[in-house]
Structure 1
């Protein structure tokens, strides 16, 4: 049985970037949401599935520190060869549904474009959100971009768990407030329409809760 690492390594080793169904030549849709966040509140960014995304280049230009994670070491090697060596990068080859290594730096924003929807087992989905919750500093943000409920049922030969903003918000939990969401149709490199849901959340601070919610007993 092919492991997830083997599946994604085969794809990244046999296809060029423009041959990938999720490839974007620019990251403007994601950047539009990032621009809703005061830049002074963003220092470290965690990319749940960095792949070979051009978003990495955009974030480096903005002088952010980056934690670049992917389940495919082949993707990370291709990305490393493209962008070179930077002292603001942390490289992480990890299954995002499993607990993050203890030494993983915390982040001001978690960005996921097209990773979460590949997780089908409830334990894996819960593991993903546990990582998200622990990785983001109080007051930080999470941007999720996944196939919407009207999107294709499969991608890269794999079944998907498609999302509504309601399910996203429920899984994010009470500790995160929805800042903005948007239905977005991505036209992939082959001219096909891929409906996504983009949602930006902010991690709330305990000291901003109404006084009645602070328990003293």
Structure 2
């Protein structure tokens, strides 16, 4: 059965408050640590794909980053984040789109994805994602992807996912991306469950 991704995520964000979702983080500490490790400048372009209602944007703004695009398929999630940010939302570039289809008018220095890529179980969708990635992230750009590890769940939010270790993610992305760092994280859900993630930091080399 084909899932309408947009409708699925609209339903999720309409049904649950921010802190009720299994992926909620009061502070995305590991993402912030890996972003800082890239050494990018505060004015460099960052995109958070599948931003949802993540607090990453709040932390990036607080830390001085000022060229941020947020992409999510759910307009409900985008509106909730805009409301939370208040006047600061005016400084953000907002994109409501599927990650495989969005368009930007500028290149990106850092692409951040916490738990979008692992939902792409169809090879054509993965190919489309990587096409978008290569279109907007030039050589010397930084890529961060967090996905469920082989020790993690096989489903999330009622959807199947693809688990990734370093070999599988490198094989999927191709040799244009050089793995700089891989970190395991056990995420504790608001309900007290454990989810095993792998965070991968890449540099695009050509």
Instruction: Compute the TM-score of the two structures, normalised by the length of structure 2.
Output: 0.92
**Other structure's SS at 2:106 match:** coil
The count of residues paired between Structure 1 and Structure 2 equals 203
Deviates more, 1:195-204 or 1:132-141: 132-141
1:125-177 Cα distance to aligned partner (Å, 9 max, x none): 11111111111132110000001111111111111111111111122222111
Task: Give the structure 2 partner of residue 10 of structure 1.
Answer: 11
> Pairwise mapping of residues 30-45 of structure 1 onto structure 2 (< 5 A)?
30-40=31-41, 43-45=44-46
Task: Give the structure 1 partner of residue 72 of structure 2.
Answer: 70
Q: Is the 8 A contact 1:42 1:108 kept in 2?
A: no
Instruction: Compute the TM-score of the two structures, normalised by the length of structure 1.
Output: 0.88
Runs of at least 5 residues in structure 2 that lack an aligned partner in the other structure: none
CA distance in 2, matches of 1:134, 1:82: 31
Post-superposition shift, 1:14?
1.6
CA distance in 2, matches of 1:78, 1:104: 25
Deviates more, 1:166-175 or 1:46-55: 166-175
Deviates more, 1:39-48 or 1:147-156: 39-48
Task: Give the structure 2 partner of residue 57 of structure 1.
Answer: 58
Task: Give the structure 1 partner of residue 91 of structure 2.
Answer: 88
Runs of at least 5 residues in structure 1 that lack an aligned partner in the other structure: 206-217
Post-superposition shift, 1:96?
1.0
Post-superposition shift, 1:13?
1.1
Q: Is the 8 A contact 1:42 1:109 kept in 2?
A: no
Query: Which consecutive aligned stretches of 4+ in structure 1 deviate over 6 angstroms post-superposition?
Result: none
